[in-house]
Amino acid sequence: MKFGIHNPSWLFGDDPANAFEGLKAKAQWAETHGFTWFSVMDHLIQIPPVGAADEPFIEGWTALSALAAVTSRIRLATLVSSVAYRNPAHLAKIAAGVDLISRGRLTLGIGAGWFETEYRQYGWEFPERPAVRIRQMEEAVRLILTMWAEKRATFHGKYFHVEDAILEPKPVQKPRPPVMIAGGGEQLTLRAVARLADACNVFGDPDEVRHKYDVLRGHCEAERRDYATIEKSNVLGLLLARDEAALAAKRQRLSVPDPFRGFAGTVAQVTDLVGRYRDAGVQLFISSAYKNDPETHELFASDVIPHFV
């Protein structure tokens, strides 16, 4: 089992100008403490479950580009880029650049998009039907793969097209960077994973995740895809303390909402939970610490990871 850290919050102290310094320190710490993955959200404003809309927020691919230059081993990713936020041919070019800067450590995380408020603020068209957004995502992935593979790419789709387009230099990874599709839609999203993705990311408790993987296995059989070739991951918000007394004090200090969208627990409880995710089929467990609580990841590295490596 592998472990990653996801960064959904840019609050590192009181000065927003220190946001990247906080992120850099977090990523550099992660790659020296047993984590193999570091991802950032690709949004322009903070999403409701994480924090206030007017919080400081750095654009995801800007952050990845900078992290690529100041880390050396950890895999870098967006979790995930909405298909609507960039022309997919442009995204293929951006991703190839980050793969080059990182010397082959990029995973392209992509999804169908959902945050309508953000679409409206930034002037993107928001297709009301999820099926349309999912089909746009699937077509965008096909275009990106074409751009990465062909010397001059021509692609005529329903939503996107390029004509004799040059993308040089190509990504460093061969045959190409892996693509992660996030989402648990059972009819369309997981079918797109079976058709196109190297990795998936689904949400939910261990039983829900197990069910989603079973659905994915069915799509793989229908598409004649080897289920084992898809890396299975999930992401979960955590708040971790050594014991119940420390956890209660931390919940009060950080004003943790009840119910908490994630899991707040002791070392023993989180270790048991991770074991349940492993048994459900998770190969890459990605955690995010509530309000960037440093002790959460420190305890996870020192007291939880050793049980699974």
Q: How much is the pLDDT for 264?
A: 97
All structural domains of the chain, each given as residue ranges with its CATH number in brackets, are 2-308 (3.20.20.30)
Q: Phi-psi region for residue 13, left (φ > 0), alpha (ψ -120 to 50) or beta?
A: left
Q: What is the DSSP letter of 301?
A: I
pLDDT < 50: residue spans in the chain: none
**Residues 94, 29: Cα–Cα separation, whole Å:** 26
Q: How much is the pLDDT for 49?
A: 85
Q: How much is the pLDDT for 259?
A: 86
Contacts of 282 (CB under 8 A, 6+ apart): 1, 209, 232, 233, 234
DSSP H helices, 31-71, are 60-70
Q: How much is the pLDDT for 258?
A: 84
Condensed to tens digits (0 to 9), the pLDDT of residues 253-307 reads: 999 988 888 999 999 999 999 999 999 999 999 999 999 999 999 999 999 999 9
In terms of Cα–Cα distance, which of 162, 195, 161, 160 is closest to 181?
195
